[in-house]
Structure 1
Amino acid sequence: MGAGENAGTARGQAAEVIRDFLTREYAGLIDLGDMHQRSTFESEQVFASRALAAVSLQLLTGCSPDEAAASITDGRDDQGIDAIGYSSSAPDLWLVQAKWSDKGTAGFGVDGALKLLHGLRQLDNRDFDRFNNRVQRHAARVRDILESPECRVHLVVAVMGEQATKEQARRLIEQAAADFGSEVECHVLALPDFHSAAHQSSLPRSVELAATLPGSWLARDFPHRAVVGLVDAGEVALWYEEHGARLFDRNIRNPLGMTPPNLGIVETLRAAPENFWCFNNGITVLCDSIETEFFSRPVEGAPVRLRLTGATVVNGAQTVASIYYAHDMYPENVVRASVQVRFISLANAPEGFARSVGVATNTQHHTGSRDFVALDEVQGHIRDDFRTSLDKEYVFRRGELVPTPAAGCSVEEAAVALACGHPDASLSALGNASTERLWEATSEGAYTRLFGRQPSALQIWRSVLLLRAVREALHELRPRLNGRSAAIAERGTLLVTHLVFRLRGAEGIDDPDAEWEQLLDEVPGLVRSVLAALIPLVDDLFGRNSFVATTFRETGRCHQLAEAALHTLADVERTPQLVVASPPKPRRRPGSARLLVAHRRILDGTQVLYQPGSVEEAAIGHWLDEDPLRYLATWNNDARQPLRWAADGSLYSINGLIRHIWQRADWREAWSAVQGPRYWVVPGEGSLSDLAEALWESEALQDAEVPQDTGE
């Protein structure tokens, strides 16, 4: 047997191990309701592919098998997206495409890359009606994440092969990431990754760590054995490289990726590694036991290596992962950094102690640029101005109770409103990218440009009112906009507000005698005009395939759009009109009986079996057992009365026959709601509900016009 044959055999064996692992993890969890009409082989292949997508999310996000299985969107009209997942504590969106091969030879080419990118663009354009029901179930969550200024998109390629991506496909994905912005990350998982996961799943979950403390460390034995000291950052990077997400089994969250705070950690490690231990809050590690190995004299503070069993990082997951990422990019810098680590042994600790430590160490508040605003005396002057001149409240310290909209506003709302009202459209882009960027207090920073010369309370309040009016007008319009137009209205809120300011709002904003209420009355009409100009300009300037989310986060694009829109709106005679329409009504799934009869899915005379649920079985099972005919019916292709009950020979509707059975059995505590199609089963094929759902998702049903029905 040649080397190639040996390699092929090894790949096939690895694929078998992985399939067994996927079956153990996901059997009964992966939805295969659309596979009833497929062969056993096809169903097994689809299961493997979907389970591969699920385990990819589990490995990358730390979600449970149930959550991973519920994320599967694979099927007709998935638009290239086999699974959609989320991060638990950040606005991160994970889009997976999986390729399975029994031989371990699957690849990822240009076609797969184009499909995945097409799906991302459809989501970015809010074209949810083009997706299947599985994707549409995620629509609200996806929309919320994409609207977040801190949104990050992760494109995941999961391939049952050793060569995960062809170079051209990789370049396509990387180009898309560049087009969408720095908020896109690409992840490739291949056969070795899944084989390692399958192998690890059969091993003990205990994590063993080594930590070297070169000196000046402290130890105590009461009430729990603990050691505190500085550890080289390079050694911490090795922890994550070896153990990955297993380090955080008891943490409330896994690493969140390169969020702004984590990027700050990486930047500190690059620019000032020697001072990293001063700037960072440190790491807390719980473990089952701590053993010490001294390099010289066994005294406290002397160089020592700790051996930790059953270790887990309960606080500092972001620090650990960021150190790992920084080490990958700037290894020569990271090895010069140290980080403070607390090691606490759980030996003899009371029940619940580990959880208490995890909760306590993760409920400390992060201090960022936003918090330092409270130290700026300008904010106190603005608060006083609000009270004396407007009789309204203005809050600027984090944690203060935000006033009701009529009673005042917060510094966050004020900053966004002032950014929209600034003559430079790029500030609205900063607000879209991340509100954290509005607090940069450098000489050219956004905070300095907004608050450096103290704005009056009247200017701030009127700016806030205008922003609220624009948001309300867009809220009214959005249901009448579809797809890409709706996405532009959602993501372009701040630029639309900026343009309304430029058209009407800047003049007289701090003049007490200005007719400001009249301007607010004009806002709905102005918003329609601005959107009418803006929507086609996005495509004209940046192309139909441009990402909407990126467009309104980039300062250069926002400036270009603003100037072009103002030029268009200046020509009154040629000002475009906004075309709106009622949103298309979602197609309503007809009743199961109507579907099954319309497609003649079940032959007349086919036996149908009543399989009651556990509660029904306990309540009326004894009555059903008295006459086996009470369990049986035959199918009759009549949408109104498709079941002929074997016990009396009469025709009933699907739900009607169950109600009749409950009545005859004298079940007085029976439910008012009936889900009959789930409990009438065609032996060997599935429930009436399953059969109807398969029809609904089939190609034939998409082209057929089936009358809708309100009942079974």
Structure 2
Amino acid sequence: MSIIHLRQIETQLKSMFNNLIDLSDFLDKKPDARDSAFLSRALAAFTILFTTDITPEQAASSVTDGFQDNGIDAIYFDSGEKILFCVQSKWRKDGTGSIDQGDALKFINGVKALVNADFDRFNEKIKRRKQEIFEALSVTNTRIVLLVVYTGIAGLSEEVKRDFDNFLNELNDTSEVVELKVIIQKELHKIVASGALSAPINFDVVLKYWGQIRDPHSAYYGLVSATEVANWWTQYYPKLFTPNIRSFLGETEINQSIVETLLSEPEKFWYFNNGITALCSKICKKPLGGNSHETGIFECLDVSIVNGAQTVGAIATANTKLPDQVAKAFVSIRFISLENCPEDFSIRVTRTTNTQNRIDSRDFVSLDTENQERIRTELQLEGVEYIYKAGYTVRDLRNGFDFSEAIVAVACSHPELTYAVQAKSKVSLLYEDVKRAPYKALFNPNLSSIRLWKLVQIHRAIEDELKSEGGKREGREKMLPVHGNRFLARQVFRHLNLDNLDDPKRDIQNILTRVPMVTISAIDATAQTIRENYPDSYLANLFKNKQKCEDVENIVSNYMANNFAQ
């Protein structure tokens, strides 16, 4: 059956990408070689197409296969989802085998060069997209998905698996920003055979403790197994999510909390989660189970999830780690039938369910009236506006700031490195509990309002210089002021004279004048240290790793101390 499946995949690729794939470098090659190149490149484009929500033309333009592609056959950045896709594709005309270790290592080294912005190693197809790729890599929360696709029937060999595992462990040393997906002939044929690119999503769902709403529009609600939800992700992502809402945002602070709950307290998951809302063209209960509301099986047609994408994605993430734990969890869900509904009803449901206000850690800062209200009142008397409650905006930044600026400035200027690292990785953990550290170590009666305002102004000057320097540099150094901004700000603060900032008469103009020179020195010293000690580390994760930051800081401090004696 393998050859038959292969022929059907080939037919789909030729039908979809005929005259769209660039073969200008194969015009003088033999027909067989040209045809093989087309199929390999079309396979890469097809993989991007069914993984994202773009057109065949866009998918074809993502192909980078050719001389000096360093094993990367297609690149696509989904700016909405903040996902950078890198594809390695292999068309095996005999339909057997897998990818060999040499191809895998070439791909791994190519991705290493890409994340380090080493564009000199790549062909013109990739160099032409240098700015797009750099911007993708400069976004703090960008995830990287490696797609290895081939038409063989065998899985990856143990050697190749080990190479990929080592690479992923290296890049994911603090958080999972890089993941690998392997797609073989079986999955490819399933997509082609099912018409998954255009067919509606239909499935049966088992609901526990279900109920029904009949008027004014039909809907069913109940509890669904988290394992079943994870299976939906595996089979139907990304099409399962309606195009006009955010899809899964990856390892955000909230999503990580969802994953941690599933792994540690799956039986309590229902109590802590708001649930999922799905629309379908029609839903009906099957006879199995009778009239009992304890368990029911429902047929759902043309399903799309309009609220709860983060919940579904987090469940799928947890399921890859500890499926036995996820199997113990249930999540609330409601299926709203669009049968006999007004034309705009689905749009209204989607919009309103995604615009509800939520409470996060930032809102609880307002409970610390002892410090926050004291600072606000004192600064008000000085003609400075300070906002610590969420939902309000500073009217004039020349004479005002808010808590978001304040917490970062205090964390980066604090003697303890941990706080600057936390400000980069998950800043909300700094104020998760206003009754204890780290919040109490940063905001307490010893922090004067005058000092806080001056620290914010100095930090603004540092940020401006980091942005300016980033625009002047190339390659990996260009990303350093972005991913290393908190670490670098800390290095600058450490080499400025911050004595007597509590004194209202202390002028900080001489400090601000020194900021550009010290900032440039901090960038140069950090860049050199990382180049010598962590040449392959992904910067987005390196500066979230406390141990690595300590190691880098020890070297940088010695360098800067010799150049900036107070």
TM-score in terms of structure 1 length: 0.72
* Structure-2 separation of matches of 1:145 and 1:463: 31
Kindly indicate whether residue 97 of structure 2 is the aligned counterpart of residue 111 of structure 1. no
The answer to whether the 8 A contact 2:98-2:156 is kept is yes
CA RMSD of aligned residues (A): 2.9
Deviation at 1:164, TM superposition (A): 4.2
* Counterpart-to-counterpart distance in 2, 1:479 and 1:295: 64
- Gaps (5+ residues) in structure 2? none
- Residue 525 of structure 2 is aligned with which of 533, 553, 559? 533
Task: List aligned pairs for 1:269-308, cutoff 5 A.
Answer: 269-293=262-286, 298=291, 301=293, 303-308=295-300
In the alignment, what sits opposite 2:195? 201
- What is the deviation of 1:559? 1.6
C-alpha deviation, 1:302, in angstroms: 5.6
Residues 250, 312 of structure 1: 8 Å contact kept:
no
5 Å-filtered alignment, 1:213-228, equals 213-215=207-209, 217-228=210-221
- The equivalent of 1:401 in structure 2 is 393
Distance 1:243 1:493, change over 3 A: closer
The residue correspondences of 1:404-483 to structure 2 (distance < 5 A) are 404-441=396-433, 446-453=438-445, 455-483=447-475
Contact kept? 2:50, 2:197, Cα under 8 Å:
no
Determine the C-alpha separation between the residues in 1 that align with 2:250 and 2:201. Answer: 22
Residue aligning to 1:212: 206
Which amino acid in the other structure matches residue 70 of structure 2? Answer: Q
Paired residue type of 1:237:
A
Contact in 2 for aligned 1:180/1:549 (Cα 8 Å)? no
CA drift of 1:276 comes to: 1.8
| Residue in structure 2 matching 1:387, options 380, 384, 390 | 380
Instruction: Report Cα offsets for 1:23-67 as digits up to 9, x if no partner.
Output: 222223333344434443333222222221222223333444333
CA distance in 2, matches of 1:439, 1:66: 47
Aligned pairs for 1:148-163 within 5 A: 148-163=139-154
CA distance in 1 between partners of 2:372 and 2:511 (Å): 28
CA separation of 1:168 and 1:458: change in aligned 2, threshold 3 A: farther
Letter in 1 for 2:220: V
What's the counterpart of residue 52 of structure 1?
Answer: 43
Cα deviation code 1:255-294 (max 9, x no counterpart): 3444433222222122222332222111112122222246
Q: Residue 499 of structure 1: which of 491, 499, 502 is its match?
A: 491
State the distance in 1 between where 2:412 and 2:129 align. Answer: 31
- 1:362 maps to amino acid: N
Task: Give the Å deviation of 1:521.
Answer: 0.4
In the alignment, the residues of structure 2 paired with residue 439 and residue 281 of structure 1 have an alpha-carbon distance, to the nearest angstrom, of 23
**2:182 corresponding residue in structure 1:** 188
Give, in whole Å, the separation in 1 of the partners of 2:97 and 2:358.
Answer: 44
Q: 2:82–2:249: 8 Å Cα contact kept in structure 1?
A: no
SS of the residue corresponding to residue 549 of structure 2 reads helix
Residue 572 of structure 1 deviates from its aligned partner by 4.6
Aligned to 1:697: none
Aligned to 1:369: 361
Larger deviation, residues 145-154 vs 289-298: 289-298
Residue pair 2:81, 2:246 contacting (<8 A) in 1 also: no
Change (3 A) 1:136 1:428: farther
User: What's 1:549 paired with?
Assistant: 540
Distance 1:525 1:329 in 2: 47
2:560 matches 1:569: yes
Residue 525 of structure 1 and its aligned partner are, at CA, apart by 1.5
Q: Which residue of 2 aligns with 1:704?
A: none
Distance 1:432 1:116, change over 3 A: farther
Q: Could you tell me how far 1:502 is from its partner in structure 2?
A: 1.0
Aligned equivalent of 1:264: 257
Displacement of 1:480 in angstroms is: 4.1
Residue 194 of structure 1: CA displacement? 1.0
Moved more, 349-358 or 415-424: 349-358
Query: Which amino acid in the other structure matches residue 190 of structure 2?
Result: S
2:166 pairs with 168, 171, 175, which one? 175
Q: Structure 2 CA distance, aligned partners of 1:154 and 1:437?
A: 27
Equivalent runs, 1:586-601 vs 2, <5 Å: none
Distance 2:368 2:52 in 1: 39
The count of aligned residue pairs is 561
The answer for the alignment partner of 2:136 in structure 1 is 145
Query: C-alpha distance in 1, partners of 2:332/2:442?
Result: 38
Q: 1:328 to 1:77 in 2, by over 3 A?
A: closer
Q: Distance in 1 between matches of 2:379 and 2:109?
A: 49
Identity of aligned residues (%): 32
Following superposition, the deviation at residue 496 of structure 1 comes to 2.0
Paired residue secondary structure (2:72): coil
Partner residue in 1 for 2:331? 339
The CA deviation at 1:442 is 7.5
Q: TM-score, normalised by structure 2?
A: 0.90
Contact 1:251 1:313 in 2 (8 A): no
Q: Which amino acid in structure 1 is aligned with residue 49 of structure 2?
A: Q
Partner of 2:15: 24
Mapped partners of 1:556, 1:524: distance in 2: 27
Counterpart in the other structure of 1:628:
none
How far the C-alpha of 1:308 sits from its partner, in A, is: 1.9
Alpha-carbon distance change, 429 to 204 in structure 1, aligned in 2, over 3 angstroms: closer
Task: Quote the offset at 1:396 in angstroms.
Answer: 3.1
Q: Distance in 2 between matches of 1:354 and 1:556?
A: 49
Matches of 1:298 and 1:318 in 2, distance apart? 33
The alignment partner of 2:336 has SS state of strand
Give the drift of 1:83: 1.6
C-alpha separation in 1, matches of 2:408 and 2:256: 23
Identify the range of structure 1 (189-198 vs 422-431) with the bigger mean alpha-carbon deviation.
422-431
Residue-by-residue CA offset, 1:564-601 (whole Å, 9 max, x unaligned): 2112233359x9xxxxxxxxxxxxxxxxxxxxxxxxxx
Q: Distance in 1 between matches of 2:48 and 2:160?
A: 21
Cα contact 1:57–1:85 (8 A) shared by 2:
yes
Q: 1:505 and 1:329 mapped to 2: Cα distance?
A: 48
Cα distance in structure 2, aligned partners of 1:454 and 1:364: 38
State the 1:195 CA deviation: 1.2
Q: Who is 1:128 aligned against? A: 119
Amino acid corresponding to residue 193 of structure 2 in structure 1: H
Cα distance, 1:203 vs. partner? 9.3
* Aligned equivalents of 1:265, 1:531: Cα separation in 2: 36
CA shift for structure 1 position 188: 1.1
Deviation, 1:68, is: 2.2
**1:279-335 C-alpha deviation (Å, 9 max, x unpaired):** 211111212222224666637x56433222222222222222332333443344333
The 8 Å contact of residues 263 and 318 in structure 2, kept in 1 or not, is answered as yes
Distance in 2 between residues matched to 1:140 and 1:439, nearest whole Å? 36
SS in 2 for 1:263: helix
**In structure 1, what residue type is equivalent to 2:170?**
D
Amino acid at match of 1:511: D
- Cα deviation for residue 20 of structure 1 reads 1.1
Q: 1:384/1:93 Cα in 2 relative to 1: closer, same or farther (>3 Å)?
A: farther
Distance 2:357 2:26 in 1: 49
Q: Deviations over 1:189-238 (max 9, x none)?
A: 111111111111279723333233333x4322222111222233333334
Considering only CA atoms, is the larger Rg found in Structure 1 or Structure 2?
Answer: 1
The whole-number CA distance in structure 2 between the counterparts of 1:410 and 1:140 is: 33
Q: How far, CA to CA, are the matches of 2:468 and 2:319 in structure 1?
A: 49
Aligned to 1:236: 229
Q: Larger relative CO (CA 8 A, sep 6+): 1 or 2?
A: 2
What letter is aligned with 2:36? Q
1:98 matched to 2:86? no
> CA separation in 1, counterparts of 2:392 and 2:34?
56
2:57 corresponds to: 66
